[in-house]
Amino acid sequence: MSGKLVFIEQLEQALKGLKSKEEIEVLLEKPKFEEQGDLAFPCFTLAKEWKKSPQLIATEMSKVIESEWFERVEAAGPYLNVFLQKGKVSQSVIQSVLEQGCQYGSNQQGVNQTITIDYSSPNIAKPFSMGHLRSTVIGNALANMSEKNGFKAVRINHLGDWGTQFGKLMVAYKNWGEEEKVKQSPIRELLALYVKFHEEAEQAKELEEEARAWFKKLEDQDTEATQLWTWFKDESLKEFEKIYKLLDVPFDSYHGEAFYNNKMDAVIRELEKKGLLERSEGADVVSLHEAELPPCLIRKSDGATLYATRDLAAALYRKSTYNFSHSLYVVGHEQSLHFQQLKLVLNKMGHTWSEQMEHIPFGFILQKGRKMSTRKGRVILLEQVIEEAIQLAEKNINEKNPELANKQQVAREVGVGSIIFHDLKNEKQNNVEFSLEDMLRFEGTTGPYVQYTHARACSILRKASLEEFGTVGQDLTDDYSWKVVKQIEQFPIIVQRSFEWREPSKIAKYVLELAQEFNKYYSHVKILVDDQELKSRIALVKAVTIVLNEGLRLLGIKAPEQM
In CATH, which superfamily holds the domain spanning 382-555? Isoleucyl-tRNA Synthetase; Domain 1 (1.10.730.10)
- Residue 469 pLDDT: 67
Sites in the chain below the pLDDT cut of 50 = none
If one counts every other C-beta atom within 10 angstroms of the C-beta of residue 283, the result is 17
pLDDT of residue 306: 81
Give the list of residues 6+ apart from residue 69 with CB closer than 8 angstroms, or none. 1, 3, 6, 7, 84, 85, 88, 89
Distance CA 419, CA 436 (A): 9
- Strands 277-280, 283-286: pairing is antiparallel
Predicted confidence at residue 443, as pLDDT, reads 80
Q: What is the pTM of this model?
A: 0.92
Distance CA 343, CA 356 (A): 9
**pLDDT at residue 218, as a whole number:** 92
Facing residues of 280 across strands?
A: 283
Three-class secondary structure assignment of 509-562: HHHHHHHHHHHHHHHHCCCCCCCCCHHHHHHHHHHHHHHHHHHHHHHCCCCCCC
Q: Yes or no: say if 251 and 157 are a contact pair by the CB < 8 Å rule.
A: yes
For 3-84, CATH gives: 3.30.1360.70
58 alpha carbon, distance to own chain's centre = 40
DSSP bridge partners of 83: 72
Domains 3-84 and 382-555 share a fold: no
3-state secondary structure of 116: strand
Locate the domains of the chain by residue range.
3-84, 382-555
DSSP assigned state of 122: P
CA-to-CA distance for 437 and 410, rounded, in angstroms? 20
CA separation, residue 458 to residues 389, 453, 518, 544, 545 (Å): 24, 9, 12, 9, 7
In degrees and rounded to multiples of 5, residue 438 shows phi and psi of -65, -40
Q: Residue 506 CA to chain centroid, in angstroms?
A: 10
Residue 468 is predicted with a pLDDT of: 67
Predicted pLDDT at 378: 60
Distance CA 117, CA 241 (A): 19
Question: What H or E segment, with its residue span, contains residue 90?
Answer: helix 86-100
Nearest to 228 by CA among 285, 149, 171: 171
Find residue 73's DSSP bridge partners: 82
Query: What is the C-alpha to C-alpha distance for residues 483 and 110, in angstroms, rounded to an integer?
Result: 31
Interhelix angle for 447-464 vs 407-424, to 10°?
130
pLDDT for 374 equals: 56
| The pLDDT of residue 411 | 95
- All residues at 6 or more sequence positions from 127 whose CB lies less than 8 Å from its CB, including other chains: 187, 188, 191, 239, 374, 379, 381
Cβ atoms < 10 Å from Cβ of 345? 26
Say what the pLDDT of residue 297 is. Answer: 95
Do 372 and 380 form a contact (C-beta atoms < 8 A)? yes
Length of the chain: 563
